[in-house]
Structure 1
């Protein structure tokens, strides 16, 4: 029984269902059936507009976002699909904090639901720094069905790493 590194925190029964789909070479079909679309957010400028629109809809009082970009250096080896940072700089006699959100470039090709899930996750960090109950409650508020999308994203990452012969 090989470990499913993206699904280790999930119950053994769910992991076994995914293993079965992999063994039957049906995992790609499962994902294609649930998430068949492609989004049109392909540039950093479009990503900025997308994130700001979601922020305005759900987090009007959160700090402004200064920089947004697709980052090809973010990848699974760093265990980061998105990143939020606050960079502090001294300008004159004042300390200025710049908020940045970076999204892994692999989401340029992913389903729109997965991009939205990552963006909601990073936006939630503007209000809640830790992955605690309040954080996930905020994610679920901004994106109903967040937990299912997070699970399916982990399944998608598992599928992406399958050997070419096992991936449909």
Structure 2
């Protein structure tokens, strides 16, 4: 039983806010959970960038791009160091292992890493809300998630860096 977390993630009454929910949705789907009502900050941020530039960029921008724009340089540098420390623990290409996420207690570096990924999402949503209607962001995010769930390819890689809306 998935209990209340499944209920929360599948609720259309409770908005979930994240940055590029495709891989998370793909992983949750494997567990029988279908995330709904997801507000994708990546969609909002890329729309904001397109409006500022007066043209559509072909490529998506990752979370660090958005954070670099949002944060003062000193705060962004601290955040990058936190992300680097976490990556060394779990990224196989950096000598780490995904199994480290199963350790208990969870290493403090991974807790800081996880917090770094989400602590600014609501601030981004509030500061950049003028860039796109909430309903449009939700619609695009839903479409992207559905495409990912119907795609036999994993929800990562170069193909996923191309803007899909």
- Please say which structure displays the higher CA radius of gyration: 1
Greater relative CO, 1 or 2 (CA 8 Å, sep 6+): 2
Normalised TM-score (structure 1): 0.29
* Greater fraction strand: 1
Normalised TM-score (structure 2): 0.29
* Greater fraction helix: 2
